[in-house]
């Protein structure tokens, strides 16, 4: 059977029997077409297909420097196509299980202590929006909250007197996070001077816009970009950068890995361990700099 016929038969299966959306099918077909473009005239009919095809294709993509995530996706799409051909008895060999290249974990971007200080000092100390924004920045950096957790923070979740907040994170897991004096003072200033006069002061949410509505993640994303520009920070940062900075600085100052894991709400310690690579990288960099002096 010609390869084109094989692909048409597979598309029919995906559309009729699997009921997949057109965009999903198009994505699969695009990956399969890329696979056959690599082999060119060597793969015209199903008789030309070999058990080694997938491995050969993966190695070629890896040598071309493609991202592991791209290789894994294309490999998965093509392997499913081969499995379909095997089930339909169009090819008569078993499809091997192939482990795609491991994804390279990128070290998270974080701010230096100086950059954090400049960012926290950027909001206006006199305008209602500035006082609110500074409280949000201080809380996020001081607790490592996710941005969704920050904008949904409720009045009942904060205990200013005892210095902690209670957060319901991913998987509806509750965690209690201590809050430092700077963040508590900034929050208290916002609550007592600004929020008390807000039209939405009866709202359960802490951080509100001037109309009394809770803020969105997108709003805070744009806000932090604005303050980074004002502070002269050239890194491409997002709200998550403050979470990364919190974790990195905690470990730099001797915090236990398990304690940081609990505060961040990570279900696996391996997720938190990425920050130990960051701190190790900084130590090695400082050591190299010292040796070059």
- For position 214, which CATH number holds? 1.10.443.10
Average pLDDT over residues 177-197: 96
Given the residues 146, 152, 223, 249, the one annotated as active site: 146
Average pLDDT over residues 148-171: 92
Confirm whether 102 is domain-assigned.
no
Residue 102's pLDDT band (cuts 50, 70, 90):
low
Question: Is 240 annotated in the active site?
Answer: yes
Question: Is 60 annotated in the active site?
Answer: no
Residue 101's pLDDT band (cuts 50, 70, 90):
low
- Rounded CA separation 167/263 (Å): 10
Question: Is 249 annotated in the active site?
Answer: no
**In the predicted structure, residue 242 carries a pLDDT above the cut 50:** yes
Do 240 and 184 lie in a common domain?
A: yes
- pLDDT for the residue 287: 41
Question: Is 244 annotated in the active site?
Answer: no
Average pLDDT over residues 137-157: 95
**pLDDT tens digit sequence for 8-64:** 999 999 999 999 999 999 999 999 999 999 888 899 999 999 989 988 888 888 878
> Among residues 20, 53, 87, which one ends one of the domains?
87
Do 128 and 255 lie in a common domain?
A: yes
Are 147 and 140 spatial neighbours (Cβ–Cβ below 8 Å)?
yes
- pLDDT for the residue 211: 96
- pLDDT for the residue 291: 43
Do 223 and 262 lie in a common domain?
A: yes
- Give the Å distances, CA to CA, from 132 to 45, 71, 138, 234, 247: 66, 45, 10, 24, 23
State how many domains the chain has.
2
Residue 12: give its domain's CATH number: 1.10.150
Given the residues 60, 170, 258, 277, the one annotated as active site: 170
Do 50 and 163 lie in a common domain?
A: no
Q: Hey, which of 51-55, 120-124, 252-256, 257-261 has the most confident mean pLDDT?
A: 120-124
- Rounded CA separation 93/87 (Å): 10
Confirm whether 93 is domain-assigned.
no
Given the residues 43, 118, 175, 266, the one annotated as active site: 266
Confirm whether 92 is domain-assigned.
no
Do 29 and 72 lie in a common domain?
A: yes
Do 64 and 129 lie in a common domain?
A: no
77 CB neighbour count, 10 Å cutoff: 18
- Rounded CA separation 147/145 (Å): 6
**In the predicted structure, residue 118 carries a pLDDT above the cut 80:** yes
Residue 293's pLDDT band (cuts 50, 70, 90):
very low
Are 93 and 79 spatial neighbours (Cβ–Cβ below 8 Å)?
no
Average pLDDT over residues 108-124: 93
**In the predicted structure, residue 250 carries a pLDDT above the cut 70:** yes
Given the residues 79, 132, 223, 243, the one annotated as active site: 243
> Among residues 53, 87, 121, which one ends one of the domains?
87
- pLDDT for the residue 103: 60
Do 263 and 123 lie in a common domain?
A: yes
Domain of 248?
113-292
- pLDDT for the residue 60: 85
Question: Is 210 annotated in the active site?
Answer: no
Average pLDDT over residues 185-198: 97
Do 240 and 181 lie in a common domain?
A: yes
- pLDDT for the residue 286: 43
**In the predicted structure, residue 255 carries a pLDDT above the cut 80:** yes
Given the residues 175, 225, 240, 282, the one annotated as active site: 240
Do 74 and 159 lie in a common domain?
A: no
Confirm whether 224 is domain-assigned.
yes
Given the residues 10, 82, 141, 275, the one annotated as active site: 275
Do 137 and 33 lie in a common domain?
A: no
Residue 284's pLDDT band (cuts 50, 70, 90):
very low
> Among residues 70, 87, 104, which one ends one of the domains?
87
Do 128 and 72 lie in a common domain?
A: no
Question: Alpha helix locations (H) across the chain?
Answer: 3-12, 22-39, 53-63, 68-87, 113-121, 128-143, 147-151, 181-189, 217-230, 239-252, 257-264, 269-292
Average pLDDT over residues 161-187: 92
- pLDDT for the residue 268: 85
Going by C-beta distance under 8 Å and a sequence separation of 6 or more, which residues neighbour residue 105? 274, 277
Q: Which residue has the higher pLDDT, 79 or 290?
A: 79
């Amino acid at each position: 059977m010609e390869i084109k016929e094989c692909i048409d038969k597979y598309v029919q299966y995906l559309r009729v029997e699997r009921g997949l959306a057109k965009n999903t099918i198009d994505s699969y077909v695009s990956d399969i077409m890329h696979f056959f473009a690599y082999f060119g005239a060597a793969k015209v009919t199903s008789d030309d297909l070999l058990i080694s095809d997938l491995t050969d294709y993966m190695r070629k993509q890896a040598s071309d420097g493609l991202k592991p995530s791209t290789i894994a996706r294309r490999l998965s799409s093509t392997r499913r196509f081969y499995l379909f051909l095997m089930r339909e008895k169009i090819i008569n060999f078993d499809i091997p299980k192939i482990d795609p290249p491991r994804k390279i974990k990128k070290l998270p971007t974080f701010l230096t202590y100086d950059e954090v200080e400049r960012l926290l000092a950027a909001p206006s100390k006199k305008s209602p929006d500035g006082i609110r924004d500074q409280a949000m920045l201080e809380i996020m950096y001081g607790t490592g909250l996710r941005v969704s957790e920050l904008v949904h923070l409720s009045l009942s979740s904060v205990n200013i007197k005892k210095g902690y907040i209670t957060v319901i994170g991913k998987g509806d897991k509750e965690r209690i996070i201590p809050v430092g004096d700077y963040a508590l003072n900034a929050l208290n200033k916002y609550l007592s001077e600004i929020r008390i006069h807000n039209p939405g002061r009866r709202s359960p949410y802490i951080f509100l816009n001037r109309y009394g509505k809770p803020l969105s993640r997108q709003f805070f994303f744009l806000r932090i970009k604005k303050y980074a520009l004002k502070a002269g920070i050239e890194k491409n940062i997002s709200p998550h950068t403050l979470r990364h900075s919190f974790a990195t600085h905690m470990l730099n100052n001797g915090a236990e890995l398990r304690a940081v894991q609990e505060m961040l709400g990570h279900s696996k310690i391996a997720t938190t361990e990425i920050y130990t690579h960051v701190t190790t990288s900084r130590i090695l960099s400082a050591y190299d700099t010292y040796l070059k002096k």
